[in-house]
Amino acid sequence: MRQINFKPEHLLRLFCRRFFVKTRTYSPTPANLRRLAGALQRSELVAIPTETVYGLAANALDEIACRKIFKAKGRPSHDPLIVHVLDLAHAEELAEFNDIARRLVRKFWPGPLTIVLSKKNSVPAIVTAGRDTVAIRSPAHAVTRRLLELAGIPLAAPSANLFGYVSPTSAGHVRDGLGGKIPSILDCGPCTIGVESTIVDLTDPISPKILRPGAVTAEELEKALGKKIVRGSAQRGKRAEKTGLIAPGTLPQHYSPRTPLVIKHSFANPPVGTGEIFLRKPAGRRGANVYWLSRRASLAEIARNLYRVLRQADQDGHARLWIEAVPENSGGLAAAINDRVRRAAAKRP
């Protein structure tokens, strides 16, 4: 029998083919969008931009494709996926709509609002963590809407990052976390909002509940509905693992840098090795450990820069990070920003 001698570089190449994927980044040309729509139809993964954060998309009606999302992200099966659709008509093929849901959809779609409703049988259990509800939204990003049109399928798309880490708001962030794990990234530049969508539970139309704040505020929702909306609380523990979360982004600890993060109202006497993240550019504070989210403390700018700055500070090798909280009475995006910061700073179990 002939003996085959493999050189080290041959063995390395075989190993990479077995365990790693070549990740390509695509610009949003018409030809590339057709190519990526075909990839989604063939059950492949594509990282896509939205106005909120980049998502890791797969055919929401294909269980095998959706399992690839969980594997690539290292995502636990009890954490469900948001399904992205083009419009209300497509959403009604997946969920049982009520009048309250239709009212909010007509007001806020396409846009950063996710609604939770009872699901129809066409939605695989893996998408909903085994629950009888499904989270759906219609993104406003023009390129992603075109991709939805070309693919002709609903897309399950959680944030395109490793599970629990800071969400990606650029194609570079996606590559940092999932390069070598997914085949395709659609690069459309930075996201315009920068924090994930508002999630509202509408399974009981009499008592709508906000599960996660976002760019569509509680005040806007209450004005549209003419009633108060209950604020939900984080889900936790063994019960959440057993029953499945009702919606993503509701765990107590999430969106977290690897460096310990502490919310501070005063930056007096920070210990050596502390990275300091201010809401606005601080006067008289300079150095490689000083970061800011906005030159003028604009909430829209803070939200847009939050994850980018958290990622940068996390990569810069500090012993700990301090971050300034937004005053709770600031209105607008303050609730969404503080929600993400609190979860990012929560102690790991």
pTM as predicted: 0.91
pLDDT category at 163 given cuts 50, 70, 90 is very high
Q: Which tokens sit at 69? A: 């999302």
According to the model, what pLDDT value does residue 39 have? 98
**Domain ranges in the chain with CATH number 3.90.870.10:** 10-243
Q: Tell me: the pLDDT tens digits for 47-85?
A: 999 999 999 999 999 999 999 999 999 999 999 999 999
**What pLDDT shows up at residue 268?**
87
CATH class of this structure's domain 10-243: alpha beta
pLDDT tens figures, 180-204 = 999 999 999 999 999 999 999 999 9
Checking if the pLDDT of 239 tops 70, the result is no
How much is the pLDDT for 246?
87
Q: How many CA atoms lie within 13 A of 331 on its CB side?
A: 2
